Amino acid sequence: MPRLARLDISGLLQHVVVRGIDRCDIFNDDYDRQLFVDRFFLLLSETDVRCYAWALLSNHAHFLLMPTTTPLSYFMRRLLTGYAVSFNRRNKRSGHLFQNRYKSIVCEEETYLLELVRYIHLNPLRAGMVASLEELDQFPWSGHSVLLGNRKSDVQDSGAILERFGKDATTAQLNYRHFVSEGIKTGRRDDLVGGGLKRSQGERRHEEYESFDERVLGGGNFVDGLKRECALRDKMNAVISLTRLLEIVSGTLKVDPDLIRRPSKSRAPAAARAIICQLAIFELGYRGKEVGKFLHLGPTGVSLASRRGKKILKSDAVLLKEIMSSIDK
């Protein structure tokens, strides 16, 4: 049975797992781990991928990420390929280091964000890499110690997690640690590795199940929404040129295409540029640099525009339908 394509969609929480090929170790010592962390943090600083949790084990690693303007596939390819080259050179080996495909599970944020942070950060304890929660508090190879303030990282989004546990840092860190401590007794959480909704519903008649997908951790409505978004992506799978996309968006919004490609803060051309950036990068697979060159925008301008474009399309279903109808012709 063919493997399903990954759901590489911007703005969605993703639980990512990478494993060594044939279960081999991907870290031989702390030098390897530091090499990986340095590359990981550098890529986070260079892209708009957000990181909420991470943990390095011996033969695999977990990450809780949210890609925004940089596709997850691009981020992971740079991370794993670069590290594998360095690892092989240092350890005098050749060939593949990682399994061919990393595993990524799209997660419903409000329901699963904190549960996944706890699950990921408890992995070193469950794997026996540390003997106690006190040791985990100081463990340098996960984001748990960063959230507690025992390690520093400017690229891990600690604020987004701690703000859910208290208004001031001290209170939030104490409450977060208690939350993690409570998770120790729950043991393994197979329901947090995708397709969890189906498993949690038990034995029912098939027609009573909500929608589910093994690539998704979330409720039926969340899965249905993803299917609609993926259908949009499928329609655009036969890549159209940026010039054609400009024609479609300018025609739909009734804006002169020349105005769209000129630096301007005028409302209508700016909205059109934003929509083009979002669709070109996240639906058609163009690189931000290509789109920026076409629209005469710098990297920051493309990033900001694509975020705005996502909001515009999400809030205006009629506009999105019109653009898609033109693309389908």
Same fold, 13-192 and 236-328: no
- Residue 83, pLDDT score: 94
Judged against a pLDDT cut of 70, whether residue 1 lies above it is answered with no
Give the class (CATH, top level) of 13-192: alpha beta
Q: What is the per-residue pLDDT for 140? A: 97
- The pLDDT tens digits for 180-222 are 999 998 766 766 765 544 444 444 444 444 555 667 776 666 6
- Res. 49: pLDDT tops 60: yes
Q: Any alpha helices (H) in the chain, and if so which ranges?
A: 30-46, 72-91, 109-121, 123-126, 133-138, 144-147, 158-162, 169-183, 196-200, 220-235, 242-253, 257-260, 267-282, 288-295, 299-315, 317-328
Instruction: Work out the end-to-end distance of the chain between its first and last CA atoms, rounded to an integer number of angstroms.
Output: 33
Q: Residue 214's pLDDT is what?
A: 67
* Beta-carbon contacts of residue 86 (< 8 Å; ≥ 6 apart): 35, 39
Which pLDDT tens digit goes with each residue over 87-126?
999 988 888 999 877 888 887 767 889 999 999 999 999 9
Instruction: Give the integer Cα–Cα distance in Å for 41 and 45.
Output: 6
- Overall CATH class of domain 236-328: mainly alpha
The model's pLDDT over 145-161, given as tens digits with 9 standing for 90+, comes to 999 999 999 999 999 99
- For 296, phi then psi, to 5°, come to 60, 50
Instruction: Identify the pLDDT of residue 131.
Output: 96
Query: In this model, does residue 322 exceed pLDDT 70?
Result: yes
pLDDT digits (tens, 9 = 90+) for 297-306: 988 889 899 9
The per-residue pLDDT for 26 is: 95
Domain extent listing, the chain: 13-192, 236-328
What mean pLDDT is predicted for residues 248-260? 92
Q: What is the mean pLDDT of the chain?
A: 84
Under the banding of pLDDT at 50, 70 and 90, the label for residue 266 is confident
So what's the pLDDT on residue 173? 97
pLDDT of amino acid 314: 86
